[in-house]
Chain A
């Protein structure tokens, strides 16, 4: 696939000179996230391809529009993986969108997030300048960490064009354990297991069943399963994949989907709807109607934040409120990267 950075840069400069705005689109599989906005589409999907992959360095550099499926296939050939297990909400999911929306799957508490694994980015800022931050090495503290700041910024700081990532070897053995358990007991149990030095790589609770995933050396996985004495779930891989890609029945239907990112041991907010607990209790999904302000209060009580992930009113705010001083800093940061507010205006917050 070709490098179309120049073309993207040209497009940005044209839109800028006309005083118009841009909505960045990679594969379009995460269009449901953030607030609804209307602006000219800036298609990045054509800017794809693996630029460099050095398995022994554990580093891969890819263009932002590269499909997750292409990246994961190349890694699999060398028995490696994207440890943050990016969700695929469709075949068209790209790495750029994954980083911009900071999306990581079930292994995140143990294997880091996409934000954590980013080593460097190339981006085009709102002045049409091509910039490079970070690099292709594991440790780099020259300049501010602009690369990781992109995670969750939803394109508000510029157009990502290239991303370097730390990749990891695939664990040699994976096993899923499952048993019945009550909601509150599951929170306690998942936290207790996560405090043990065992090869845990997933901890989820749904509909009265606790699911644990073990990954690592075969001997360690088998010994831990025996030690914990929880039944093995056959073909458990499918469960984790469906959890990652939100294909479980829990995620179906039109009801609003809320995401709570909170203290892993906090009691679940007392709401009437349907809950799914992931990340050993740190990430909790809720299906049900709710007012943003009330949900924010619940999240803060549990030591964290909430977002209206999918559905509901997408013209109001969908991300947890910001402290006024932090809101002011983010506005100024936005201005520093994108003085004319070209990129995704209002997608993350109405004021950004």
Chain B
């Protein structure tokens, strides 16, 4: 047993699993240092379960001091650390390192303070997204970003991924809705980035940390802004005969000077699937469907709803239905929110992509996707954050059929390439993680990749924070450019 806690100055030999576990048990409740295979199993992947790796061990510290100590031990022995919130990520960003530690923030689940006057909340990083709005509701306030996984996902993970949601056209992403974070550096130092004010002096490190996928530090606390809950919200559901008409209607709404709280589009494959699943009354004959939510004061919503209804009809809507109350509003949203499970009913497996495009290219991208669908012999359904151009193509496949997963991944890769070609990007909100690291060279040049790695190096010179994610090495990048690598699929287990 190695109980030596003094720094080792000369070349340190990496401790084995048992030694490392013993070191952690010196300062963490032994039951929260997990080493046995059965208990480790649930940590082998995040929400993208096609990428699985068993970690060396998992720790669940209960205090910031314990997190600092974990980081110091790992730093001294150059042990990789993968921070993990709820594990709902969709890019294998929280996939463990086989020789590393998973640092779970599950015990960091306390809401530390809600300040109803200054409209902010201080949260430990493992607090669930939805729990923030639930706690703030008593004060007539809520937290803006609402990713689909908001029942489970944590605020720390939201910072790591710069999560959005259906309301981010109007209310912004995580980066627009946080004031400060407490972060533990790779060396184990506790720093606060940001303040109670709306900006801070110096380089905007808060922007850099947000969306950095756990590569620059471990977030232990987040201070978020809270917004006043709108007096009223109503949603219009409009069906269209063509995708082009629906796309034009989106542009038309914005040209009218209306910024909807949410503006979602679904294609016919998605409409049919969710209607079969939810029976929410979606127009199954439509080629495309828009859900347009308007919120604000009673007067404003009334004015904008009338304008939007008329405008949708002008743009050729074949059906227009507006919610009369919150019950109906919830019903109309139910289909969109059930889109993923609905796919699970019509296909054994689905693979969710996350490219973003300038909206003007929507029809071209959707049409080319249908061509690819024929070429790959796999169905694809589309749900789309139409307001901000974020596409979620859902590729349907059967992992039990030989070669289908590989086909799905190749199809996905071609979609992302197309997104970049039309001026968009490979990921709008799910992150790069392991999943899209091969696509990074599509979007960035070697000099840019080198610069991104230099940024990483400024925070984590030994490269032990979430290694192998987010940004490829320059060497890998050049190799990817030279040859098209077949994606690896260690294990497949779609829930």
State the A residues within 8 Å of B (CB): 54-59, 79, 102, 108-109, 112-113, 115-116, 125, 129-133, 135-146, 148-153, 156-157, 168-172, 188, 191-192, 194-199, 216-220, 222-224, 260-266, 279, 282-283, 302-305, 307, 319-320, 322-323, 325-326, 329-330, 332-333, 335-337, 348-349
Q: Is the CB of B205 within 8 A of A216?
A: no
Query: Counting CB contacts under 8 A, is B148 at the interface?
Result: no
Q: Which of A112, A137, A168, A337 contacts B423 (CB 8 A)?
A: A137
Q: Is the CB of A195 within 8 A of B198?
A: no
Q: Which of B212, B298, B423, B458 contacts A332 (CB 8 A)?
A: B458
Q: For B431, give the chain A residue with the smallest CB separation.
A: A141
Question: Considering the complex, which residues of chain B in the window 356-376 have a beta carbon less than 8 Å from any beta carbon of chain A?
Answer: 356-360
Task: Kindly state the separation between the CA atoms of A109 and B179 in the bound complex, as whole angstroms.
Answer: 12
Query: Counting CB contacts under 8 A, is B451 at the interface?
Result: yes
Query: Counting CB contacts under 8 A, is B197 at the interface?
Result: yes
**Contact A197/B211 with A220-B296, A333-B455 known, Cβ cut-off 8 Å:** no
Contacts of A335 in B (CB 8 A): 458
State the B residues within 8 Å of A (CB): 115-119, 139-141, 161-162, 164, 168-169, 172-173, 175-176, 185, 189, 191-193, 195-205, 207-208, 210-212, 216, 228-231, 250-252, 254-259, 296-300, 302-304, 356-360, 385, 387-390, 423-432, 436, 440, 443-445, 447-448, 451-452, 454-459, 470-471
Task: Kindly state the separation between the CA atoms of A159 and B454 in the bound complex, as whole angstroms.
Answer: 17
Q: Which of A136, A188, A303 contacts B196 (CB 8 A)?
A: A303
Max chain A Cβ within 10 angstroms of own Cβ: one of B168, B300, B456: B300
Closest A-B pairs by Cβ, 5 of them: A303-B196, A304-B197, A148-B207, A261-B197, A169-B257
Q: Is the CB of B118 within 8 A of A265?
A: yes
Q: Which of B195, B205, B230, B429 contacts A305 (CB 8 A)?
A: B195
Contacts of A108 in B (CB 8 A): 198
Task: Kindly state the separation between the CA atoms of A193 and B182 in the bound complex, as whole angstroms.
Answer: 29
Q: Is the CB of B119 within 8 A of A194?
A: yes
Contacts of B357 in A (CB 8 A): 137
Q: What is the number of contacts between chain A and chain B, taking CB atoms within 8 Å?
A: 289
Contacts of B452 in A (CB 8 A): 143-144, 146
Q: Is the CB of B205 within 8 A of A329?
A: yes
Given contacts A132-B448, A145-B212, A216-B297, 4 further A-B contacts (CB under 8 A): A265-B118, A320-B202, A330-B202, A333-B458
Task: Kindly state the separation between the CA atoms of A57 and B201 in the bound complex, as whole angstroms.
Answer: 32
Q: Is the CB of B203 within 8 A of A336?
A: no
Task: Kindly state the separation between the CA atoms of A177 and B38 in the bound complex, as whole angstroms.
Answer: 65
Q: Is the CB of A138 within 8 A of B390?
A: yes
**Contact A196/B423 with A143-B448, A152-B203, A265-B118 known, Cβ cut-off 8 Å:** no
Task: Kindly state the separation between the CA atoms of A311 and B252 in the bound complex, as whole angstroms.
Answer: 48
Max chain B Cβ within 10 angstroms of own Cβ: one of A112, A222, A265, A266: A265
Q: For B211, give the chain A residue with the smallest CB separation.
A: A141
Q: Which of B140, B193, B297, B458 contacts A195 (CB 8 A)?
A: B140
Task: Kindly state the separation between the CA atoms of A216 and B231 in the bound complex, as whole angstroms.
Answer: 15
Task: Kindly state the separation between the CA atoms of A168 and B189 in the bound complex, as whole angstroms.
Answer: 40
Q: For B355, give the chain A residue with the smallest CB separation.
A: A137
Q: Is the CB of B198 within 8 A of A113?
A: yes
Q: Is the CB of A142 within 8 A of B447?
A: no
